[in-house]
Structure 1
Amino acid sequence: MTLEHPASNGALLGTEHPEVRIAEGLVRGRWRPTTGGRGNARSAAFLGIPFAEAPVGELRFAAPQPKAPWGDVLDAAEFGATAQRGDPGVTLIPEPSIPGDSTLNVNVFTPEPVAADPGTGLPVLVWIHGGGYFAGSPASVWYDGRNFTRDGVVTVTISYRLGFDGFGWIEDAPSNRGVRDWLLALEWVQRNIAAFGGDPARVTIAGQSAGGGAVMTLLGMERAQHLFHGVYAISGALADVSAERSEAFGRKLAESAGAAPTRAGWSAIPEDRVLELQKAATAMTSDSMSEIIDEGLPLGPAVDGELLLRPTPESFRLGVGSDKPLVLGATDDEFSMAMTDAAKALRWVPKGILLGKLGVPKSARGAYLAANADVVAAGKARLAGRVLTDRMFRTAILRIAEDRGAAPTWVYRFSWPSGAFGFAEHCLDVPFFFDCLDGPAIEPLAGPNPPQALADEVHAAAVAFIANGDPGWPAHGGADRIARVFDVPSRDARDAYASVRPLL
């Protein structure tokens, strides 16, 4: 027998394929089991729902256009096309590429696909994937929201244009096209999430790496403030590319393509050729690594004077987003794995010279080495990796917490050492956040038998924050600067990032 909620939008709860009516039309999802033996035993998944028209042809370098209504039922059984083309070989998370043109889509996971009256819906998590603003995919099995829905959270993962298509400067094209994709996706959530049982007034945006940078960019953007109510930034990498650097990169890439730096010029260049040029222009070399450490990524959200009025930290200092709670943190050794192969070569390099090459001022070197004595003892490669981690991720955490002043801010460290790497590397905390240690590709990142109890802690803190605006440990303000250190066992520590302070 088919059961229909009396006040519903037509969601058919007793069927294998629940259906939900949204503003654009009817969508048909699928039920999936959750894990862990608690909460909701199943989750309804609605995959590949387009929030915008396909960004191809005349729309390729345009601002995203809202998806027109469809007449029939949209079967949302499979992930939609991704902006990522092929495996770029840079992400540690299984993030598949799916061919197709309609790359601007959302995936919704809900325990109860029944329309919620205002103020009665479930809290909502919107996830923005990472990948350096040029890679990554919302179709990862790690991002499946089944265990957030098990715990009463409606989950949405969104796609956006990547690399030059999303963020490259073009003379007569809208700036920050990828950012505009985020905004339109969040507008879609505001318009439609109640139909899936969510509360549009309780939306938390979260992301990791470039996705963590994305949610902090949105937090500092006046134009985005009405679209969400809390932020959870995991290993956030802000771009804040200057207008001058963005234009210089765009002109140089157009020159290498033999094209005018205009929409017409770029439209004549095949997509695979653009990707080839972009890959060459952003290749990691010793020189480009130094530039990225000092100036950030060349492709990403740019300070365009329209969407991003100023660098994000400056916006925080002015109070933008200060009414919204923020959780931010990083793993202890985000990029140490990048230095593993250099261990033999670095063995004979004096520590002072090594720190100098990595941009540590001479005046700070002694204090930094003393504050990181445990890492120094692990060898030069580990020391180099820690410096990269601190300069690219962990110093930003302290600065952002300070920039926000009295705004509600919580800080954490993810310190549990991977059984595969021996330290807490980039991406390691993501399967703990999503509580998906039972998923594929976990062992190469975390080693065998990663601690489920720690996943329970990390995930529960995220659920608490999404539901109530408080992750369950003291906020970072005040003289104690408390941070949660996720480890076995976890603990709350005073000034948990003290080893970073010599770099500030």
Structure 2
Amino acid sequence: MSHTPATESSATAAGAAPGAGRTPADAAEFVEVDTLAGRVRGRWRPTVRRAGDASGGGGAERSAAFLGIPFAEPPVGELRFAAPVPKAPWTGTLGALEFAPTAQRGDPGVTLIPEPSVPGESTLNVNVFTPSPATPAAGESGLPVLVWIHGGGYFAGSPASPWYDGRSFNRDGVVTVTISYRLGFDGFGWIADAPSNRGVRDWLLALEWVQRNIAAFGGDPGRVTIAGQSAGGGAVLTLLGMPAAQHLFHGVYALSGALADVAAARSEAFGRALAEQAGVEPTRAGFGSLPEERVLELQKRATELGPDSLGSIIDDGLPLGPTIDGELLERPTLESLAAGVGRGIPLVLGATDDEFTMAFAEAERKLRWVPKSLLLKKLGMPKDRLKPYLRANADVAAKGTARIAGRFLSDRMFRTALLRVVEARDAGAAASGRADASAGTWLYRFSWPSGTFGFAEHCLDVPFFFDCLDGPAMVPLAGPNPPQALADELHTAAVAFIGTGEPGWPTAHGPAPAAKVWDAPSRVQPDAYASVGPLR
């Protein structure tokens, strides 16, 4: 089955005045907006009320969803490995009533977030959720805007997740946009005669679309916050470090950001090896001769994780993702931040306490007989840091080998990187000589333990951020009855940051920064990442 955006055969499509032939029932259910490429038709729906608040929290009682609006031409045929091409204008009204095709082909099951795949070719699209789908009147400002970039290791994930719905943000006066981008080899693989970082170019074009069109949906293009989780968190940090992207957003919120910063030589070696396995030249013509299914098969085989490949991933990172190509991405993100790029843009970043502890959950009983020191050394723990690390994490080590191994992986892959970003931002402010002109950096830890796993695993903070604890597939991730009060608090802080550039707790500076610890109850903690110290 294929899904492609289609214009409606209606009076509007025939060129009559907007709304001609429409009934009051149509107006109550549907709403239309003019984008620069053409008119789109969305659907009204009620917003989500805060638990126990019959008034809807004082915010909007309904909002409109516009789903699957194309911002680029379908990346197929001659455009498959090309830079994205802006969507050509259409006539009539485009029905934006259901999610458009996704770059993800089948859910590979890499996260516990429900992220549906939708078949079809027009995979470069945006979804807009807004409480006020109209251009603000003269003299009035639009609503702040959240643009969400999904995660999935740069090879999976979908903007069509029910968790990414903007209902709660709409209730609280924030226009929400979720964007798609090319994944895996199509989006990030090296090809000799193709533009590099095609997935990054998709992000940029989607953000350009937001700048040019969001006012028509009631949003303020001068107050755009980009946010994402995991690879999406890495995406927004990558964009923060790009000089060419600075005009596209005004705040960054990175949840469990996983920077790729793939070395150019590694990216090329991966591309050449994939071509050799496929028996084609490493060119657009060569890869273009392969069915999409074949490329996905080769990609999966080349990136599968085994027990002996964890160390390589920890040390070298993922082989597919934003690449330091010397053109679009001139240098690693941390170097760029330390040079002062993005210093005027406020940043919130953080991680869950046990991002990757799930990797050992099934083997927990077997691992209790394995000495902690042996497994940690196998995972790359330097010998001289083993004892200090175990002392600093004595509470976790007491819970067994699986738990301390998971915490070590979480620290190596996520939590130490947060502190490096804080240090780089400090260096960038110092290098400018204008610390007063530098925006704040705020750090958090998500520590509330899942009722299913007993620890704060990867992805757990996402439904709290979106305030969607009543959404589907919540029990496998969070357990029964996750605390709505914590979601209220965290989501409210996110709304404040999107609207004002400040989340409401002290900024992070220096080698021992304070952080907001999201738990029940939450608190601000000095040197909140002290347990990571022995690895730095």
The alignment's TM-score, normalised by the length of structure 1, stands at: 0.97
Q: Within the alignment, does 1:33 sit opposite 2:46 as a pair? A: yes
The alignment partner of 2:323 has SS state of coil
**1:349 corresponds to 2:370:** yes
Which deviations, in whole Å up to 9, do the C-alpha atoms of 1:212-262 show, x marking residues without a partner? 000000000111111001000000000000000000000001111111000
Distance 1:140 1:56, change over 3 A: same
Residues 1:252 and 1:119: Cα distance change in structure 2 (over 3 Å): farther
Which position in structure 1 is the counterpart of 2:508?
Answer: 476
Q: One-letter code of the match for 1:242?
A: A
* CA distance, structure 1, for counterparts of residue 129 and residue 86 of structure 2: 21
Structure 1 pair 267–487 and aligned structure 2 pair: CA distance change class (3 A) = same
Q: Secondary structure at the match of 2:30?
A: coil
The CA distance in 1 between the partners of 2:395 and 2:47, in whole Å, is 40
**1:313 counterpart residue number:** 334
> Which stretches in structure 1 are left out of the alignment for 5+ residues?
1-8
Displacement after TM superposition at 1:359 (Å): 1.1
2:267 aligns with one of 228, 246, 256: 246
**Structure 1 residue aligned with 2:163:** 142
Contact 1:168–1:299 (CA<8 Å) still a contact in 2?
A: yes
Matches within 5 A, 1:119-268: 120-268=141-289
Q: Residue 18 of structure 1: SS of its match in structure 2?
A: strand
Is 1:495 matched up with 2:532? no
Q: How many residues align?
A: 496
> Structure 2 CA distance, aligned partners of 1:499 and 1:260?
48
Deviation at 1:16, TM superposition (A): 1.5
Which letter maps to 2:370?
Answer: V
Contact 2:512–2:530 (CA under 8 A) maintained in structure 1 = no
**Contact 2:310/2:379 (CA < 8 Å) preserved in 1?**
no
> Which residue among 424, 427, 437 is the counterpart of 1:403?
424
Mapped to 1, the partners of 2:201 and 2:111 lie a distance apart of 24
Q: 1:66 aligns with which of 74, 86, 106?
A: 86
Task: Report the secondary structure of 1:428's partner residue.
Answer: coil
Q: Distance in 2 between matches of 1:240 and 1:401?
A: 17
Which sections of structure 2, spanning at least 5 residues, go unmatched?
Answer: 1-16, 50-55, 430-437
* Equivalent-residue separation in structure 1 for 2:123 and 2:180 (angstroms): 7
Verify the 8 A CA contact 2:512 2:529 in the aligned structure 1: no
Specify the code of the residue in structure 1 equivalent to 2:181.
Y
1:134-173 CA distances to partner (integer Å, 9 max, x unpaired)?
0000000000001101000000000000000000000000
1:419 aligns with 2:451: yes
Partner residue of 1:15 out of 28, 33, 37: 28
Structure 2 letter corresponding to 1:205: I
Q: Deviation string for 1:295-339 (max 9, x for gaps)?
A: 110000000011110000000110010000000000000110111
Change (3 A) 1:118 1:289: farther
Where 1:365 maps in the other structure, the secondary structure is helix
The residue type equivalent to 2:340 in the other structure is G
**Which of 367, 377, 398 is equivalent to 1:377?**
398
- Bigger drift between 112-121 and 280-289 goes to 112-121
Aligned counterparts of 1:86 and 1:231: Cα–Cα separation in 2: 30
Which secondary structure does the structure 2 equivalent of 1:233 belong to?
strand
How far 1:344 sits from its partner (Å)?
3.1
How many angstroms does 1:350 deviate by?
2.1
Indicate the residue corresponding to 1:4 in structure 2: none
- How far apart are residue 273 of structure 1 and its match? 0.7
Letter of the aligned partner of 1:427 in structure 2? C
Rounded Cα–Cα distance in structure 2 between residues aligned with 1:390 and 1:278:
27
| Distance of 1:483 and 1:182 partners within structure 2 | 29
Runs (4 or more) in structure 1 with deviation over 4 Å come to 9-14
Aligned counterpart for 1:466 among listed residues 498, 505, 524? 498
Which residue in the other structure is 2:77 paired with?
57
In the alignment, structure 1 residue 88 sits paired with structure 2 residue 108: yes
Distance 1:456 1:354 in 2: 39
Give the distance between the partners of 1:43 and 1:168, measured in 2 at CA.
39
Percent identity for Structure 1 against Structure 2: 74
Q: Kindly indicate whether the alpha-carbon contact (under 8 Å) linking 2:443 and 2:514 is maintained by their aligned counterparts in 1.
A: yes
Q: Deviations over 1:168-226 (max 9, x none)?
A: 00000000000000000000000000000000000000000000000000000111111
Within 1, Cα distance between the matches of 2:266 and 2:382? 25
Contact 1:239–1:300 (8 Å) recurs in 2: yes
Does structure 2 retain, via aligned residues, the 8 Å contact 1:119–1:201? no
